[in-house]
Chain A
């Protein structure tokens, strides 16, 4: 059964990865579906023949194969591993979530108090070395990612606290750390009991899981056991060849119990510079590319004969952040003046419309405009209103100086605006914002930074007044909201704090009913539009998908799954050679 309105799932790793990726302006937000969903995708197999190969231009080289470790938690590794190791859930382009062929139906909540969930593994699920995929594999993931020191686990001493902590490297403990009891009901059933209702339980086991029968006996198996080889497969494809620094080749896994993939092989070619991808496609050295969208790449791709392309606005959203540590920006009227003073529609028209006419202003912090739960709460700031901006400032006691800049008590409204450069889009946006705010008596000084500083390091240090970067909205809206706006979150760079908002989001995290949960989150968003912790600007296209038109069923998935979400269905058109 597929529930229509369920948020997309996949684990907190996905959330984590996508947020970091967007923040860093990289393309770390894709993943591979591996064609492992049980329900038919939007694409069909009609007119597709079996056989053939496809080469994909990959920007990243894997560091190892255990995508659940923070070390190997790279987007394009997910693309590969989604096809090789089993995962329980798949997020679809419409933000719904479906269980994969790994499960025998959905995970079921068997008890509300204590909150208990049960996963049943498909009886046919088997590793390529004929060992069944079992509760042991789930248990290994749980033990490695619960953040606790379990018996027999390696430990490290935390220098700050002196405590011994787990020596297992897990990219995200989200959800697993709330489990109070893990049970292997039988070989194919696991049950987990949580310390409180955990509504995003579908994210658990949503990433490719390593084979426990191979990894557990190895010394340091979780951390390094799969550094060179995934060993076995329980997905539609298995690794055929790996030439480090050059390419991977996947071939069909004959032991795969799900829908057989159409293509014989998928080749992941390491081509680090996305600017070269269109020419590689044009020269037929790769047949599918998915670089970060840039207008020149879009132009190039659209001029290549025999190539289809699509560009969709995904959950990556740009925003203007305020640093509440700055006493001036801590004043609501100043933030309001900025919000009234900028022309968000102009930024959309200037920066996003060249990509697609579908671009539009974003007026929510908790849902994306292509989600049904989206409510545009920011309409008050939809149109640039200089008179409202100046009125807000004057109401707060600011007066306009001779230089046209407002000031109060000798403090001028002059702020440092930062982006990580080079980033032409954000740098152009800075110019527009600077001009707009000058018109309302606020001075903007552009103070960009580059490597080795990162958005994370600058944000964590609070070294900004105004800051433009992007988060990725995900199906885990509650986790995302908590991470971004909760008072205690390290990623709340601006140090915004409103106990009411914290409580509202916290409450949402306990609501199982999806509609009610969405309502609760929207209430939090309304509160935040009153506070203006930041100013949402617009969604960005996630990736520029382009592929040879001799192939069928290739389609984008703007959730963190990326384009490999249905790779089993990819194939050469029946008429193609």
Chain B
């Protein structure tokens, strides 16, 4: 297992290097000029523009810039954003925001999706199944921004009705809030509810359908019929034999989706005013900020690789036949 893991990681390194090179060159040569606005300003001296050009290393050839960036990145130095801010702390901060938002939501969404999908399969064509299917399709087909906007409106109406602040619609916390640890945590939870519910509903909708389909397939498999014929208890058949195998496809989907969401739940972050990874990427692209985009790419690439690896390892756990030695 260890050798497999190391081998997979080793294979991933060229992928990260190649993708970072391609993205660097694309961004650096795409035509966006980080100094375009600066050049427009009257009174800006040539010297100032030259200074900024040098500060951002725009005076160097692209390959040299990439080389410098890569050399520094290996040591953990991700350079500075166009605005002069160190990229590494910026990245850590943004990733922290996104993690807070999506980890909780993903855990809840997975639990609900597995439960609802499995129940729907076990009680196929029941009222529960039809209801779950209906809502899954509703949330699956609903644009994220629309769902988020509706939830935001509902939250505000509830607050207004009860004349209390239970739901918050922007940001991660109320600035400067006092009142002790519990009060601060309650406030953070209040900020987390609506964006989390948005992500949960959207993610759960698709994952529950995968789970239902997978579970149905497994429940109709010969070995399940055999287990039942041998007198294995229904509970044991369901959890030990069916659910475990049915989780394998869902694990793949969740792993890939989770890595993607960690790269930035752009719409949810935007609607609820969270400044996470998604916002970082959008801002970086707008500003042609190659260091920011590179940093985002590194994180996204590492996340995708890591979660794909985690999915592979989980296969081995869920299905011993797939274990590699």
A residues whose Cβ falls under 8 Å from a Cβ of B: 12-13, 15-17, 19-20, 23-24, 55, 57, 61, 63-64, 70-72, 147, 156, 158-160, 165-175, 177, 224, 227, 240-241, 243-247, 249, 265, 267, 269-273, 276, 279-280, 282-286, 451-454, 456-457, 459-460, 479, 482-483, 489-491
Contacts and interface: CB of A to CB of B under 8 A. Distances in A.
A243 B51 CA distance: 29
Contact of A16 (B44, B170, B271, B283): B44
Interface stretch (B77-85, B219-227, B235-243): B77-85
B270 interface: yes
Nearest to A244: B93
B44 A283 contact: no
A271 B152 CA distance: 15
A173 B51 CA distance: 14
A165 B43 contact: no
A244 B86 CA distance: 12
Contact of A70 (B30, B48, B176, B272): B48
A147 B44 CA distance: 9
Contact of B45 (A55, A173, A273): A173
30 contacts: A15-B43, A64-B84, A70-B41, A70-B48, A71-B83, A156-B51, A159-B59, A165-B47, A168-B51, A169-B52, A169-B55, A171-B41, A171-B48, A175-B43, A241-B175, A246-B171, A269-B171, A271-B170, A271-B273, A272-B279, A273-B271, A273-B273, A276-B170, A283-B155, A285-B170, A285-B171, A452-B288, A454-B32, A456-B37, A457-B36
B320 interface: no
A70 B52 contact: yes
Lowest 6 CB-CB distances: which A-B pairs, in order? A452-B32, A63-B83, A174-B43, A16-B41, A165-B47, A172-B43
Residue from the set A55, A72, A156 with the largest chain B CB neighbour count within 10 Å: A156
A279 B40 contact: no
B42 A246 contact: no
Contacts of B46: 158, 165
B44 A172 contact: yes
Contacts of A172: 41-44
A160 B49 CA distance: 12
Contacts of B90: 245
B228 interface: no
Contacts of A160: 50
Interface of B: 30-33, 36-48, 50-52, 54-55, 59, 81, 83-85, 90, 93-94, 97, 152-153, 155-156, 159, 165, 167-176, 270-273, 275, 279, 283, 285-286, 288
Contact of A283 (B38, B97, B156): B156
Contacts of B288: 452
A456 B39 contact: yes
Contacts of A174: 42-43
Nearest to B81: A63
B51 A245 contact: no
A364 B263 CA distance: 49
B37 A285 contact: no
Contacts of B39: 456, 460, 490
Nearest to B173: A246
A13 B41 CA distance: 8
B31 A452 contact: yes
B36 A460 contact: yes
Contact of A64 (B83, B283, B285, B286): B83
Given A245-B97, A454-B36, A456-B36, A17 B84 contact: no
A12 B174 contact: no
Contacts of B33: 452, 454, 456-457
Contact of B32 (A246, A249, A286, A451): A451
A31 to B, nearest CB: 15
Contact of A482 (B38, B42, B52, B173): B42
B40 A167 contact: no
A283 B159 contact: yes
B42 A70 contact: no
Nearest to A282: B156
Given A165-B50, A276-B169, A276-B272, A483 B84 contact: no
Given A19-B42, A171-B41, A452 B285 contact: yes
Nearest to A17: B41
Contacts of A285: 168-171, 174
Nearest to B27: A452
A498 to B, nearest CB: 19
B236 to A, nearest CB: 50
Given A15-B43, A276-B272, A173 B48 contact: yes
B43 A272 contact: no
A174 B41 CA distance: 10
Contacts of B32: 451-454, 457
Contacts of B155: 283
A61 B39 CA distance: 22
Given A15-B42, A246-B275, A454-B36, A279 B94 contact: no
Nearest to A454: B36
A72 B59 CA distance: 21
B272 A158 contact: no
Contacts of A171: 41, 43-44, 48
B248 to A, nearest CB: 39
A490 B286 CA distance: 23
Nearest to B84: A71
A489 B159 CA distance: 55
B17 to A, nearest CB: 24
A243 B168 CA distance: 19
B41 A156 contact: no
Nearest to A249: B176
A334 B19 CA distance: 50
Contacts of B271: 273, 276
A280 B47 contact: no
Given A70-B52, A156-B50, A170-B45, 18 more contacts: A16-B41, A20-B41, A64-B84, A147-B47, A156-B54, A165-B46, A165-B51, A169-B52, A171-B44, A224-B84, A245-B275, A246-B275, A247-B176, A285-B174, A453-B31, A454-B37, A457-B36, A459-B40
Residue among B33, B167, B271 with max Cβ neighbours from chain A (10 Å):
B33
A459 B39 CA distance: 11
B286 A169 contact: no
Nearest to B47: A165
Contact of B40 (A170, A177, A270, A491): A491
A279 to B, nearest CB: 5
A72 B153 CA distance: 36
Contact of A19 (B40, B170, B270): B40
Contacts of A241: 175-176
Contacts of B43: 12-13, 15-16, 171-175, 177, 479
Looking at A19, A279, A451, A491, which has the most chain B CB atoms within 10 Å of its CB?
A279
A256 B170 CA distance: 33
A451 B41 contact: no
Nearest to B153: A279
A167 B41 CA distance: 18
A29 to B, nearest CB: 13
B272 A55 contact: no
